[in-house]
Chain A
Amino acid sequence: MGFREAIEQSGWDTARQQDAGRLCAGLRQALRRTDYTPDDQIYKNLDCDALIPDAHRPRHPTSRLALLDELLAKRPGSPDDLKKAASDFCHDHKREGPEDKLAPAHVLGRIWSANDLLDLLLSQMGEIGHTATNEHLRKIIERASLGDQQEALADLWLGKELRPMWSFYDPESPGNPLTRLSGTRATTIDRLGLGEYHYERPTEELVQWGHRLPDGKKAMTPTAWDGGVKCPYWRPGGRTHPLGATGRFGDGDGLPEVVHAAVTGGALAVRISFVAG
Chain B
Amino acid sequence: MEEWLLKASINQLRDFLRGRFQDIGPYAADTGARVPELPHTLPVALWQEADQALLNRLIQAVKSLLEEIPGNGWTPRAIEWLCFFIGRAQIKDPPVMGSLIGIARRGHWLRGTDDGPRCYVALLRTLLNLDWVAEPKFWLDLPAEVQKRFPGIVFRGLLGHDMQAAFAYLRRAAKDAKHARQIISVLGDIMDDATQRSQVIDQLCRALAELPPAVSAYLTKWFRIYEWGDLAAEAARPLPQPFHPSCSAIVDAGWKPELALSA
Q: How close is A218's CB to chain B, nearest CB, in angstroms?
A: 16
Check if B31 sits within 8 Å of A163, measured CB to CB. yes
Q: How far is the CA of A133 from the CA of B150 in the complex (A)?
A: 20
- State whether B182 touches A127 (Cβ < 8 A): yes
Chain A residue nearest to B186 (CB atoms) is A129
Interface majority SS on B: helix, strand, loop or mixed?
A: helix
Interface flag for B105 (CB, 8 Å): no
Residues of B within 8 A of A120 (CB): 38
Chain A residues near B28 (CB, 8 Å)?
91
A231 touches B34 (CB 8 A): yes
> B33 and A129: CB pair below 8 A?
no
When the two chains form their complex, are residues A144 and B225 in contact, meaning their CB atoms are under 8 A apart?
A: yes
**Contacts of A196-226 to chain B: CB distance below 8 A:** 196-197, 226
Question: Which residues between 8 and 51 of chain B lie within 8 Å of chain A, taking CB atoms?
Answer: 23, 26, 28, 30-36, 38, 40-41
Number of interface residues of B (CB under 8 A): 47
Contact residue among A122, A152, A159, A228 (Cβ-Cβ distance under 8 Å from B30): A228
* Among listed A101-109, A111-119, A171-179, interface-contacting one: A111-119
The answer on a CB contact under 8 Å between A130 and B225 is no
A135 to B192, CA, bound (A): 10
Chain A residues in 8 Å Cβ range of B38: 116, 119-120, 123, 160
User: Whole-angstrom distance from the CB of B30 to the nearest CB of chain A?
Assistant: 7
Are A136 and B225 CB-contacts (below 8 A) given A128-B182, A228-B30, A228-B33?
no
Within the assembled complex, what's the spacing in Å between the Cα atoms of A227 and B32? 9
| A130 adjacent to B189 (CB under 8 Å) | yes
Known: A84-B26, A128-B181, A131-B129. A160 touches B35 (CB 8 A): no
Q: Please, which residues of chain B bring their CB within 8 A of the CB of A148?
A: 221-222, 225
Q: Is B173 an interface residue (CB 8 A)?
A: no
User: B35, A196: Cβ atoms under 8 Å?
Assistant: yes
A132 lies within 8 A of B87 (CB)? yes
* Residue of B83, B155, B225, B226 touching A126 (CB-CB under 8 A): B83
**Interface residue? B185 (CB, 8 A):** yes
Looking at B61-69, B120-128, B233-241, the stretch in contact with chain A turns out to be B120-128
With an 8 A cutoff between CB atoms, is A194 at the interface?
yes
Q: Let me know if B206 is at the binding interface, CB within 8 A.
A: no
What residues on A are CB-neighbors of B227 within 8 Å?
A: 143
Residues of chain B within 8 A (CB-CB) of A159 are 36
B84 CB–A CB distance under 8 Å: yes
Closest A residue to B84 by CB, please name it.
A123
A123→B35 contact, CB < 8 A = no
Q: Which of chain A's residues have a CB closer than 8 A to the CB of B118? A: 126-127
- Which A residues are in CB contact (< 8 Å) with B225? 139, 143-144, 148
Check B121 against A132 for contact (C-beta < 8 Å): no
Q: Which of A113, A128, A164 contacts B152 (CB 8 A)?
A: A128
Q: Is the CB of A164 within 8 A of B189?
A: no
**Could you list 5 A-B pairs, sorted by A, with CB under 8 Å?**
A119-B38, A129-B182, A131-B128, A160-B32, A160-B36
Q: A194-B35, A196-B35, A228-B33 are in contact. List 10 more A-B contacts (CB 8 A).
A: A112-B35, A123-B80, A126-B126, A127-B152, A128-B181, A129-B125, A129-B152, A131-B129, A148-B221, A160-B38
